[in-house]
Amino acid sequence: MLSLEEVKLHLDAADQAHVLQFWSELNEAERDVFLQELSQLDVSGLRGHCEGAARAAASVAASLDDLMEPVPPEFIGSARKSDKTFLAHWENEGLLHISKNRVGVLLLAGGQGTRLGVQYPKGMYNVGLPSGKTLYQIQAERLHKIQELAEAKHGSKCIVPWYIMTSEFTLTPTEKFFKENNYFGLDPVNINMFEQRMIPAVTFDGKVILQGKGKIAMAPDGNGGLYQALVDNNVLEDMKKRGVEYLHVYCVDNILVKMADPVFIGFCVSKEADCGAKVVEKVSPTEPVGVVCRVQGVAQVVEYSEILQATAELRGPSGELVYSAGNICNHFFTRQFLQNLTMNNEKHLKEHVAIKKVPFVDKCGNEVKPTKPNGIKMEKFVFDVFPFSKSFVVFEVVREDEFSPLKNADGAATDSPSTARNALLHLHCRWAAAAGATVLDQDGNAVVLTASESTVINAPAKFEISPLVSYFGEDLEKLKGKTYHSPCVLDKEQ
C-alpha cells in the first residue's frame, strides 16, 4: 500500500489533488480504506485517463461510411442458408473438439445491469419461467448437456471449463450464489471466476469524480476489459494447462445462448479462423445494434451511431440490407489469438465514451444523485479485437433460436424479462411441435404456431424443456404423440 505522501504526489502530478479534499474529515478507518483504494489505482496512467476521457467525450466520431464494406460471403456461414451437410459436418467437428477437452466457454458477467435495475448480478435473475430457473442455472445446465452430447457422439468423457469474468460488483454475490446452488452440479474445479479491473469515472473537464468523501466513483472497464483481466488472472495459462484451444465468449443476458455451440465452433475451426462472431440479421436499418463488417479491409463492429442512415439503409439486389450482420456479442477465439493479442495489442484497444449519471459529493460534501448525465465512463468493448484478426469469420444464426437479451426492466418494449421468457417458451413450443407433440395452453387449447408468431410478442404456452433434456431441440422423439398441459416443465426424469 502507498503512503499518503506518495498518493498525494501522484494525484498532484495528475492534476487530481481534489480527490483528497475531504481527507481531514475522515476517521482512521475511513482513511485506511480510502488509501487502500487509491493505492490500487493505476496512478501513473491517471492523467492520461482523465485527459483522454474529457478529450474523447468532446470529439466527434469520424464517419466510417466511405471506408466500409460487408464481410465477403466466403467468410460467412449461416444456420439458415448453409448446406445441411455442411452444418452437420461443422456440428460433428465441434463436438469432436469438445470431446477432446479443447473447448472452453467464457461468460462476461462484470456489468452493472443498470437498465434492468436490480441490485444483484444479472445472471441471478429469474425471468419467470415455469421452472423458476435463473440465467446462471440455464447456462450451467446447457454446459452439462453439451458435455454429454460430445461424450455420446465421440465416446470420451469431457470437460468444458467455464470461465466467468466478474467485477467488484458481481464477484462476491456470484460466488455465493454458485456455492449455495452447489455449482448446479458442475465441479467447481472447472469453474474459474475472476475479476476485471475498475477505472474512475471522470467529469467532462477531466476530474475524477468523488462518490463519497473517501470514495472514488469507479466502474468496470467495459466487457473489453476481458483482455487485461485474462492477463491479470493467468486465465490463458489455465487454458493451456487444460489443453483448451478454442474459447466461446458470450454475454450473461442472452437467455437463448448456445454455449460452446458445436456448429459455430466447428465452422470457425474448419475455416481456420482465429476469431469469429455470431450475428443475426438486423430487423430493420434503424435497429440500434452494431454491424459486423470490414473497415479499410479489416474486421470491425460499427455502431449504428457511427454511420449515416443512408448507409444503414443500403440494400443488395434481392432487397436484403447490405449491412445486415447484427452483432450479438457471441464470439470465438483461438487461445493463440488471445495470447498474441494480450502480448502485443491490448494497449492499443480503442476506448469508448459512455456518458452517464454518476452520483457524487459536491464541494460542501453533500451526496448528490444527478438528474442529468454528469460523468464519463470509459469502456473497452470485447469486439474491439476484431481488427487484429488475421482470419476472421462470421456465422449467421436465426434470431428466434439464439438471441433474446435481457437488458431492460419489464414495461420496456424490447429486451425485458417478458420478452426473454417468451422467446425461450416459444422456442420450446416449436421444438415440441417439430417432435410431433401437442402442447395445450392454460385454457386447454392446442397451441398452433404460425410463421408470423416468430416475433415472440406472447408466449404460446408455458411449456419449458430443461436444457438437461435437450440442448438444441435434439433427442425429443419420445415426445411424439404426447400431449402436454401448460404450465409444464419437461425435466430429465420425464
**Binding stretches for ligand UTP (CB under 6 A):** 108-115, 122, 165, 167, 196, 220-223, 225, 251-253, 407
Rounded Cα–Cα distance for residues 247 and 97 (Å):
11
CA angle 206, 198, 392 (to 5 degrees): 100
The CB-of-290 to ligand UTP minimum distance in angstroms stands at 11
Per-residue DSSP letters for 271-294?
TT-SEEEEEEE-SSTT----EEEE
The CB-of-115 to ligand UTP minimum distance in angstroms stands at 3
Rounded Cα–Cα distance for residues 160 and 98 (Å):
7
Closest alpha carbon to 353 in 49, 122, 16 = 49
Rounded Cα–Cα distance for residues 364 and 86 (Å):
67
Rounded Cα–Cα distance for residues 460 and 35 (Å):
56
Closer Cβ to ligand UTP, 46 or 116, answer by number: 116
Closer Cβ to ligand UTP, 255 or 479, answer by number: 255
The CB-of-412 to ligand UTP minimum distance in angstroms stands at 11
The CB-of-97 to ligand UTP minimum distance in angstroms stands at 24
Question: Minimal CB distance to ligand UTP: which residue?
Answer: 111
Closest alpha carbon to 439 in 459, 413, 455 = 459
Count CA within 13 A, CB hemisphere, residue 155. 0
The CB-of-375 to ligand UTP minimum distance in angstroms stands at 14
Closer Cβ to ligand UTP, 108 or 255, answer by number: 108
Rounded Cα–Cα distance for residues 220 and 235 (Å):
18
- SS3 for 299? strand
The CB-of-329 to ligand UTP minimum distance in angstroms stands at 6
Closer Cβ to ligand UTP, 122 or 335, answer by number: 122
The DSSP symbol for 426 reads H
The CB-of-204 to ligand UTP minimum distance in angstroms stands at 20
- SS3 for 156? coil
Rounded to the nearest angstrom, the gap between the alpha carbon of residue 302 and the centroid of all alpha carbons in its chain is 17
Exposed / middle / buried, residue 471 (Cβ in 10 Å: 0-12, 13-18, 19+): buried
The CB-of-415 to ligand UTP minimum distance in angstroms stands at 9
Closer Cβ to ligand UTP, 353 or 461, answer by number: 353
The CB-of-288 to ligand UTP minimum distance in angstroms stands at 12
Report strand pairing: 291-295 vs 215-216: unpaired
Residue 167 pairs in a beta bridge with none
Closer Cβ to ligand UTP, 27 or 119, answer by number: 119
Helices 4-13 & 46-58 angle (0-180, nearest 10): 30
Is the Cα torsion angle 451, 472, 165, 78 positive or negative in sign?
Answer: negative
Closer Cβ to ligand UTP, 20 or 218, answer by number: 218
Closer Cβ to ligand UTP, 112 or 270, answer by number: 112
Closer Cβ to ligand UTP, 110 or 266, answer by number: 110
